[in-house]
Amino acid sequence: MEFFFDLINSFLPHFRTVFLAIVSLGFLIFIHELGHFWAAKRCGIKVNTFSIGFGPKIVGFQRGETEYKISLLPFGGYVQMEGENPSEQTGAPGEFASASIGNRAFVVAAGPAVNLLFGILAYSLVFTTGFDRDDTRLIGGLTGMPLSKEETVQIGWVADDGPGAVGGLMPGDIIVSINGDSIHHWSMFETQIGLGPNKDLELVVERDGMHQTLTVKPDPVPFGVRGYIGKIRVSSGSETIVYQVQEGSPAAEAGIQADDLVVGINGEKLHNVPYFGYRAWHPSEDWINKKYQALYKQINENPNALTLNIRRSSEMLTLEMPVEWKVIASVQKDSVAEAAGIRNGDVLVSINGEPIDATTLYTQLKTLANQPIEIGLVRDGNPKTISLASETESSEIDTETVMFGLMWQTTLSGMQLAPKMAPLPEYNIFTGFGKGLEATWLTFTAVGRTLQQLIGGEVSPKHLAGPIGITAMTGNIFNRLGLSSLFFFIGFISINLCIVNLLPIPIADGGQLLFFTVEKIRGKPMPRRAQEIVQQVTIVFLIAFFLYVTWFDGMSLIDDLRN
């Protein structure tokens, strides 16, 4: 019996994700159809059915002239009005086709309009109620909106043999535009690069206050089951600050203070935050890790004289100190290391009696995974020895990247370094609404650019997300980020529904508006038979397109679960 409970519990997170996505999408569909319904009633048009979902009815009831129901397939919905289908039109009062062109256009536009209004409301509410760093990354990723005037898209490290270096990119370059499109957020940069494998891209960069035009050709890199994306092997740049200084450390004695801006180390200008933690020492071919390792080696070449170029307010300082490394533990929850008693912040000193070296610790742990391990550490100034049990196959920890659930950061001469973060902006109800409008406009332009690239063949339809993809993204955002990010994402999907429904596709709301425009110009509606043929062909095309996108969504989901 316990086995079945464990099995059910293992599936509960997935059920929760699916349920959350269905509720979110169902709500957006509901308010869309509610817009059509309200407008039809207001214009005196008879509504026969109000349905959330397609296919067979699950539950429903009749009230007045309208049947309200929830149908089996939750990815959609409809309002069926009297005389809406060309083959059922009789010209009687109360039919959709009998209403004036203005009233019909009002009814059709009401659905997308409600989705647009909800999207603006969702965006504005997130801006008004506040957000965290994770939210800003999501907002920037979806809209390309920088939330600080200080934010720029700057290049950090550049792989020596990568397409970025070949094209002339250098550390510290600020990206101004790609192929004429202004770049305001790192996610916009990654998206444009990702969509251009094997294509020459024109990059305008700012270097030393001057604009330069470079040509970069991204390498194609496999992207799951969806083909290839472009990579140019550069990292995002950021300024480095001293996050914390330990009392009595070489850095403290040299005069280093928290919030000092580290401009350079040993004469080498910094455009990336130095990182010497556990991930930097994995035996991989990751070029960024090699950059970290090279800097670590360069620092150790003269252990008695570490030179830091510091900016403190408007003052530039050059300070020297000896090199001293400390390995600080960071432990994953429910891991072998946590069960053994290792805590976050412990200073790791030895492994099986040998002094710990950050450069080889990962390899040592991997080699000793099935042997007794004694970890010597210091906690609150007191030495301790802790025994680690063997890593087991049943452990939920990913042993390919983290051994025993034990991670670590490395302090340099008693300093902890971190990226400089611009303060998060705060908005009131009025400025928050203004930012919501701005984010909505940026969403429209981003989606419009994607549609243009889709039509031009620059983007493959397999990169689009259907219901399965949206479900997976909804769950990931909720699990990893939180309610603010989820609410913003739902607003983003709502605005997307507005845009897609306004496309001039015959079966969509935009197609109906196009028919009304033709009718207004001709002085009479299109022939009934022509409307039926166009709608039937469009339905077949959309079903095929839906299945195509859903297929790649499903294959990507399976690929993610396997990995």
The region, left, alpha or beta by phi > 0 then psi within -120 to 50, assigned to residue 15 is: alpha
Q: What pLDDT shows up at residue 3? A: 43
CA distance 495 to 370: 53
The region of weakest confidence among 171-180, 355-364, 539-548 is: 539-548
- Provide the number of structural domains found in the chain: 2
Q: What pLDDT shows up at residue 505? A: 77
Q: What pLDDT shows up at residue 17? A: 65
What are the CA-CA distances from residue 103 to residues 111, 502, 505, 519 (Å)?
14, 17, 20, 14
Q: What pLDDT shows up at residue 160? A: 92
Say if 91 falls within a structural domain. Answer: yes
Q: pLDDT above 90 covers what percent of the chain?
A: 35
Q: Is 193 exposed, middle or buried (0-12, 13-18, 19+ CB in 10 A)?
A: buried
The region of weakest confidence among 7-16, 367-376, 473-482 is: 7-16
Full-model pTM: 0.75
Say if 516 falls within a structural domain. Answer: yes
- pLDDT mean over 536-549: 63
- pLDDT mean over 382-392: 80
Say if 164 falls within a structural domain. Answer: no
Q: What is the pLDDT of residues 227-245, one digit of tens each?
A: 788 999 999 999 999 999 9
Do 12 and 124 share a domain, yes or no?
Answer: yes
Do 26 and 122 share a domain, yes or no?
Answer: yes
CA distance 85 to 471: 32
Say if 460 falls within a structural domain. Answer: no
Residue 557 has pLDDT above 60, yes or no: no
Q: What pLDDT shows up at residue 121? A: 95
Q: What pLDDT shows up at residue 464? A: 59
- pLDDT mean over 186-210: 90
Select from 390, 412, 434 the last residue of a domain. 412
Q: How confident is the model at residue 8 (pLDDT cuts 50, 70, 90)?
A: very low
Q: What is the pLDDT of residues 17-45, one digit of tens each?
A: 667 777 777 788 889 989 999 999 899 88
Say if 390 falls within a structural domain. Answer: yes
If one compares 92 and 417, the residue with the highest pLDDT of the two is: 417
Q: What pLDDT shows up at residue 215? A: 95
Task: Return the top range by mean pLDDT from 210-214, 279-283, 475-479.
Answer: 210-214
Q: What pLDDT shows up at residue 309? A: 94
Q: What pLDDT shows up at residue 4? A: 42
- Structural domain containing residue 119: 2-131+477-562
Q: How confident is the model at residue 11 (pLDDT cuts 50, 70, 90)?
A: very low
Q: What pLDDT shows up at residue 234? A: 95
With CA atoms as reference, report the closest residue to 553 among 285, 224, 253. Answer: 224
- Mean pLDDT, all residues of the chain: 82
Select from 392, 412, 432 the last residue of a domain. 412
Select from 412, 428, 445 the last residue of a domain. 412
Say if 228 falls within a structural domain. Answer: no
The region of weakest confidence among 4-18, 110-124, 334-348, 429-443 is: 4-18
Q: What pLDDT shows up at residue 176? A: 94
Q: What pLDDT shows up at residue 263? A: 94
Do 116 and 9 share a domain, yes or no?
Answer: yes
Q: How confident is the model at residue 476 (pLDDT cuts 50, 70, 90)?
A: low
Q: What is the pLDDT of residues 352-386, one digit of tens each?
A: 988 988 888 888 888 887 778 899 999 988 999 99
- pLDDT mean over 206-231: 87
Q: What pLDDT shows up at residue 422? A: 78
Q: What pLDDT shows up at residue 235? A: 93
CA distance 469 to 78: 22
Do 399 and 492 share a domain, yes or no?
Answer: no
Q: What pLDDT shows up at residue 306? A: 93
With CA atoms as reference, report the closest residue to 327 among 369, 282, 378, 284. Answer: 378
C-beta pairs of 67-74 under 8 Å, 24+ apart in sequence: 74/22, 74/25, 74/26
Q: What pLDDT shows up at residue 194? A: 86
Task: Return the top range by mean pLDDT from 136-145, 146-155, 493-502.
Answer: 493-502
The region of weakest confidence among 301-310, 337-346, 397-406, 489-498 is: 397-406
Say if 231 falls within a structural domain. Answer: no
Do 18 and 118 share a domain, yes or no?
Answer: yes
Q: What pLDDT shows up at residue 1? A: 38
Q: What pLDDT shows up at residue 77? A: 74
What CATH number corresponds to the domain at position 337? Answer: 2.30.42.10
Residue 51 has pLDDT above 70, yes or no: yes
Do 402 and 497 share a domain, yes or no?
Answer: no
Do 19 and 113 share a domain, yes or no?
Answer: yes
- pLDDT mean over 285-307: 90
Task: Return the top range by mean pLDDT from 8-17, 126-135, 242-251.
Answer: 242-251
Residue 492 has pLDDT above 70, yes or no: yes
If one compares 461 and 7, the residue with the highest pLDDT of the two is: 461
Contact 374, 364 (CB under 8 A): no
Say if 515 falls within a structural domain. Answer: yes
C-beta pairs of 383-391 under 8 Å, 24+ apart in sequence: 383/349, 384/346, 386/340, 386/341, 386/342, 387/340, 388/336, 388/337, 388/340, 389/336, 389/339, 389/340, 391/336
- Non-local (6+) Cβ contacts of 535 within 8 A are 86, 506, 507
Contact 320, 299 (CB under 8 A): no
Do 407 and 514 share a domain, yes or no?
Answer: no
Q: What is the pLDDT of residues 66-113, one digit of tens each?
A: 888 888 876 667 888 887 766 676 777 888 878 888 998 999 999 999
Q: How confident is the model at residue 256 (pLDDT cuts 50, 70, 90)?
A: very high
Q: pLDDT above 70 covers what percent of the chain?
A: 80
Q: What pLDDT shows up at residue 371? A: 79
Do 7 and 127 share a domain, yes or no?
Answer: yes
Do 14 and 99 share a domain, yes or no?
Answer: yes
Residue 397 has pLDDT above 50, yes or no: no
With CA atoms as reference, report the closest residue to 322 among 417, 418, 416, 414. Answer: 414
